[in-house]
Structure formats: structure tokens, C-alpha cells
Amino acid sequence: MDFSKGHRYHIFSLKNKYEHIGIPKPSNGAFPILKSDIHVNEDQIKAIVYDVLGSRTKELHEHNESFDVWFIFETTGALTDTYYSLQENTIITTKEIDAIDARLRSEVQATFTGKEYQNYKAVRYTYLRPIVF
């Protein structure tokens, strides 16, 4: 599947905490957080998306839909910000995105290992591969 053709819409939730103020800078001298120290249940995220859109999976597949999502988690594990990327001619509705957003915020948390995360207030998680129908 070629995702390089066409434009994508980037959508953010109005519930985002850091949208307009940005993520607070880490403590001075803080090392970057390793990807391996951020733990998010990606299967749970995909299950939520498929559960909300489940009745339309065949239609979404025929339309070659893909769904990207990125997160910001506070180091308590709480999900504070969500960002979505959808193809320009998407058939996924804003009502469906709102339903996905609500479920992600209430059900998904991150955990952290190592020590570097203790110098941060919030952490980006952009490692989830696109969800393709």
C-alpha cells in the first residue's frame, strides 16, 4: 500500500493538555528517554480502534484507509494528548474519532522503566505503526 500519494489530515483533540503550551522541558542535564523504557499496549490501542470502527472494517479496507495516532503521556502514565492522521478523502467520521479518543483516554496508560523518565513531566509516544484496514 502506498501512503505517499495524497494529503493527510492531521487532527488533534480539543481535550489536549499540551497542545498550545508545549511539553515542559526536562530537568537540566536530563538524558533522552529510550524507546525501550516507554511501555504502551499497542494491541489494546488497535483493539479499541477496531472495536469502534468494527462494523465498517470491510468498507474501510475497500477505501484503503489507514489510521495513525500519536500520544503524549504524563510520567504518571496518564494519556493527556492525542493526535490523529487520516487520508484526505477519509470516510472515518469525526463522531468515530471522538469515540476512539474517549476510549483511548479512559483505557490506555503508559508505564516507564529506567530512571530518565523521572526528569520529564510528559513524554511523546510516536512509535505505533499505522493501523491499516
* Residue-wise pLDDT tens digits, 34-66: 999 999 999 999 999 999 998 999 999 999 999
Neighbours of 24 (CB within 10 A): 11
* Residue-wise pLDDT tens digits, 67-93: 999 999 999 999 999 999 999 899 999
Per the CB < 8 A criterion, the answer to whether 53 and 95 are in contact is: no
pTM of the complete model? 0.88
What pLDDT band is residue 2 in, cutting at 50, 70 and 90?
very low
End-to-end Cα distance, the chain:
11
Give strand ranges (E) for the chain. Answer: 8-12, 38-40, 66-74, 79-87, 110-112, 122-125, 131-132
What pLDDT shows up at residue 9? 84
Mean pLDDT estimate for the chain: 91
What pLDDT band is residue 6 in, cutting at 50, 70 and 90?
low
